[in-house]
Amino acid sequence: MKLPFDPAAYDRRTKLWLLVVSVATLFLLIGAALLENVFPEWRKFRSEYASILEEKAIDESGVAIAGLFEVNSIQQNVLPELGLTDRCITCHTGTTDPRMWDVRQPFKTHPGNFLNDHPLERFGCTICHQGQGLATNSTEAHGHTEDWLYPIYERNYMYSSCMTCHEDPTVWQSAAADMFAEDDPVETVQINLVAKGEILVNTKGCIGCHVIDGLGGSLGPDISFVGDKTRHDFDFTHFEGEEHSVSAWLHKHFVDPGELSPGTSMPDMALTDNDAVALTAYVLSLKSRDVPFSYSVARAIDVEEPPPLTGRELYDMLCSACHGIDGRESEVPGIRTPALNNPDLLAVASDNYLRFNIDEGRSNTSMPGWGPESGGITYAEIDKIVDYIRSWEAEAADPDDVAQHLGDPLVGRDIYLGLCSNCHGEQGEGGIGIALNSPTFLGVATDRFLAESIIHGRPGTAMASWKDMDAQSVADLVSHIRSWQPEPPSFEEVQES
């Protein structure tokens, strides 16, 4: 039997639940207020640091520093030019105190000599380390929240931020020894990770598919400003296990691109974990230099310019991803490219042909132009690449050496039918090429001329070079061609005529 609705009882229950919720809310607010203002994490750290200061107070200076320290005070660096306010030093209290080298974080001295050139009062912390400068608890300050776009860099990637201000990449390389103390090898290793990543980008052919600062191919996305991206710019659909962060995504992408991005054209480069970390560190450094001019550090004019790139270095940087490290096969799934290290191609492709294709690219293909008008490399560098490709050719036979061999016309006939007859005809009658059985031609062409034409081709014509042919084979081929030359008339025949 259904009881009749009792408005008074319903009203009492509603008021009771409202009272319970209100009391619970009040306790939560009181707890939050106590946690925020009476028992905050930063106050606990500063209280612990005060005890450390007392332990370190072994002289008058130490006693004075301990006496001036305020436990109940939030410290901050206000940086109006950068539009930042960093409160990191509220907890990282020993950052500039060299006596704190042996204590735990967050009280430890900042490693190396970095702060000599980057004083906290001018640079703060987050311009280099990222994170949320205004926060006063570790989780929020380190940016490990859903709403903060740029969490603090993991230790391996701490120096990826240098390019925010520094234009000159030698900040990672030659300057590493000056910026960091000799007794702090960990820091030097980390900064060299970025330099190693840059080397890997150049030697693994990444620029052949990806644009960096205006130079690169179009198969992959432009990665010039990957360091500015947030985790919301990446697809974590196939990402499992770790915290969703830009660095974790990049690292996993370099280790196994196909697993993270099914169907990608990105090849598996068989990288070690350390290589993947180095590549991640470098790619994170690719960011816009959005800082005031007074913070921008241009390339130093007294820094020694690196030596010019060799043909092999240029090939590895621009060509190897599609044509293979040794020019024999493509590294990119689903992309068919000619094997440049192929005797047949090298025999028919002239230097001018190679130069033109490198300069202008190949229309209706994935081959971009790399010449100056494409914002790429110089003509001198194109010549270096051509010379490097030519270095794969077999050493050509010497015409003088050919002359020392007795040619076999029967063997030469087989060579001729395989290599020459398509252009010059089966009996040397000509076609695309000249008629080799012409008495006039054979009367003026010396054996050396024939040998040189076979070995080096004829510039400006369709005649290919056969530099991979040994001296004996050239002699055999010359002997076969010479067999078409008619015998000169005898003295008696001349007299009779």
Q: Which helix (H) or strand (E) holds 494?
A: helix 491-496
Note the pLDDT of residue 226. Answer: 94
**pLDDT (mean) for 33-51:** 83
Element (H, E) at 79: strand 77-79
| Spacing of C-alpha 462 from chain mean position | 40
Q: What is the pLDDT of residue 186?
A: 40
User: Which of these ranges, 130-134, 176-180, 190-194, 293-297, has the smallest mean pLDDT?
Assistant: 176-180
Neighbours of 169 (CB within 10 A): 18
278 or 269: which leads in pLDDT: 278
Three-state secondary-structure class, residue 84: strand
Which class is domain 185-295?
mainly alpha
Kindly report the CATH number that applies to the domain delimited by 399-482.
1.10.760.10
Sign of the four-CA dihedral 180, 182, 184, 190: positive
Higher pLDDT, 459 or 78: 78
d(CA 370, CA 411): 44
Give the chain's mean pLDDT. Answer: 86
Residue 180 has a pLDDT of 39
Determine the Cα–Cα distance for residues 42 and 35; give it in Å rounded to an integer. 11
pLDDT digits (tens, 9 = 90+) for 394-418: 788 899 998 999 999 999 999 999 9
Where in the chain are the domains? Answer: 41-129, 185-295, 358-392, 399-482
pTM value is: 0.72
Same CATH topology for 185-295 and 399-482: the answer is: yes
Between 91 and 468, where is the model more confident? 91
Contact 207, 201 (CB under 8 A): yes
Query: What's the Cα-to-Cα distance from 436 to each of 96, 426, 431, 471, 479, rounded to whole Å?
Result: 86, 10, 10, 20, 12
Confidence of residue 73 (pLDDT cuts 50, 70, 90): very high
Mean pLDDT is highest, among 3-12, 245-254, 291-300, for 245-254
pLDDT band at 177 (very low <50, low <70, confident <90, very high): very low
